[in-house]
């Protein structure tokens, strides 16, 4: 059973006690069901509904919000939460609706100056994240317990590649040779032991970065924090831009704003390739949709051309 617009309509109207005018599901997101809710009066809100098995992710969002907002991280305020499903069949969060839309939706209309300013703000956000205590391991965490973290940063990269292989095998529409080539590149890389388990935002890419009139208004969907190399996020953003056919001047500005020596080109290429193979692995997957999206051959060919250049 999955939540629907009807569930979103009922939850928002009941918990906020306001007349709902419309509900619109956001097209992004692989795991949660996220809706913009408009009312007959007053400001809109965002409703994040999870499958009950994904409830820990919403709990993680509440946990990290409590630590990050006091540091000055521009996260939306949580207006209401029910993770115990006391009144409805699904756990959910109701959040402030930040003005604007995902960076990827407006990237093409931004000026060079606006892109450079947002890139510098991404570096500033990662510096705020690094104020959190270092973890005892590497990877993604829903809290500060250290559960499930890898002993080394390389283990996180290996884990990403294993997940991608499972996706490719499950869908059967992508040649697994791409995963083999990425694995060979990773195996040939020796200089990864210098990475410290510092906290960083792993999903502030072309999505989850909210921009309004050329300015950053905040970031969203921080269910977990990552611990390791923040260049991993830069590479993910780079791959997102390349996969959409955009230029990557934004990435150049991001790297220039980082500490000297923290964005070596060979490591950025490696990380970008690992993300690129993961993008290929997403093709043919349903995730939280009723059925997989139709395969966009132009998109797949663009990914493969990009990977050929990187690998």
The pLDDT of residue 27: 78
The pLDDT of residue 287: 76
> CA-CA distance, 246 to 254, in Å (whole number)?
15
Q: Judging by beta carbons within 10 Å of its beta carbon (0-12, 13-18, 19+), is residue 17 exposed, middle or buried? A: exposed
The pLDDT of residue 292: 83
Specify whether the CB–CB gap between 243 and 278 falls below 8 A: no
Average pLDDT, the chain: 95
Q: What percent of the chain shows pLDDT beyond 70?
A: 98
Cα radius of gyration rounded to whole Å, the chain:
20
Domain range annotation of the chain: 5-96, 101-310
Question: What topology does CATH give the domain 101-310?
Answer: Aminoglycoside 3'-phosphotransferase; Chain: A, domain 2 (3.90.1200)
> CA-CA distance, 75 to 84, in Å (whole number)?
23
The pLDDT of residue 29: 63
- Render pLDDT for 152-177 as a digit per residue (tens, 0 to 9): 999 999 999 999 999 999 999 999 99
- Render pLDDT for 19-46 as a digit per residue (tens, 0 to 9): 999 999 987 666 789 999 999 988 999 9
> CA-CA distance, 100 to 114, in Å (whole number)?
14
Instruction: Name the CATH superfamily, with its identifier, for domain 5-96.
Output: Phosphorylase Kinase; domain 1 (3.30.200.20)
Size (the chain), residues = 311
The pLDDT of residue 113: 98
| Angle ∠(145,61,51) on CA atoms, nearest 5 | 105
Across 108-126, average pLDDT: 98
> CA-CA distance, 261 to 252, in Å (whole number)?
14
Given a cut of 70, is residue 75 above it in pLDDT?
A: yes
The pLDDT of residue 204: 98
Specify whether the CB–CB gap between 49 and 11 falls below 8 A: yes
- The residue with greater pLDDT, 308 or 191, is 308
Across 133-154, average pLDDT: 96
- Render pLDDT for 252-261 as a digit per residue (tens, 0 to 9): 999 999 999 9
Domains 5-96 and 101-310 belong to one CATH topology: no
Q: Distances from the Cα of 214 to the Cαs of 15, 32, 170, in angstroms?
A: 33, 27, 40
- The residue with greater pLDDT, 109 or 288, is 109
Helices (H), the chain: 5-16, 55-68, 103-106, 112-129, 153-171, 177-187, 231-243, 249-257, 265-282, 297-310
The pLDDT of residue 28: 67
């Amino acid at each position: 059973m999955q939540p629907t617009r009807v569930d979103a309509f009922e939850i928002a109207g009941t918990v906020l006690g306001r007349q709902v005018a419309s509900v619109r599901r956001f097209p992004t997101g692989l795991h949660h069901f996220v809706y913009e809710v408009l009312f007959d009066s007053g400001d809109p809100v965002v409703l994040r509904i999870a499958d009950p098995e994904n409830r820990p992710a919403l709990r993680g969002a509440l946990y990290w919000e409590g630590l990050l907002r006091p540091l000055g991280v521009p996260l939306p305020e949580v207006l209401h939460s029910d993770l115990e499903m006391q009144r409805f069949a699904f756990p959910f969060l109701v959040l402030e609706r930040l003005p604007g839309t995902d960076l990827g939706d407006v990237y093409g209309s931004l000026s060079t100056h606006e892109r450079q300013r947002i890139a510098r703000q991404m570096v500033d956000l990662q510096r705020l994240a690094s104020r959190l205590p270092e973890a005892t391991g590497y990877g993604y965490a829903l809290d500060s317990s250290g559960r499930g973290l890898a002993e080394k940063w390389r283990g996180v990269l290996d884990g990403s590649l294993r997940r991608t292989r499972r996706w490719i095998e499950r869908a059967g529409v992508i040649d697994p040779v791409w995963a083999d080539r990425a694995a060979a590149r990773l195996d040939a890389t020796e200089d990864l032991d210098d990475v410290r388990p510092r906290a960083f935002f792993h999903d502030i890419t072309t999505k989850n970065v909210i921009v309004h009139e050329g300015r950053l208004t905040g970031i969203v969907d921080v269910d977990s924090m990552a611990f390791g190399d923040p260049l991993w996020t830069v590479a993910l953003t780079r791959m997102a831009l390349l996969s959409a056919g955009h230029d990557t001047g934004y990435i150049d500005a991001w790297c220039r704003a980082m500490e000297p020596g923290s964005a070596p080109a060979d490591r950025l290429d490696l990380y970008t390739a690992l993300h690129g193979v993961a993008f290929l692995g997403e093709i043919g997957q349903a995730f939280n949709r009723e059925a997989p999206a139709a395969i966009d051959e132009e998109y797949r060919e663009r990914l493969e051309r990009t990977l050929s250049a990187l690998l």
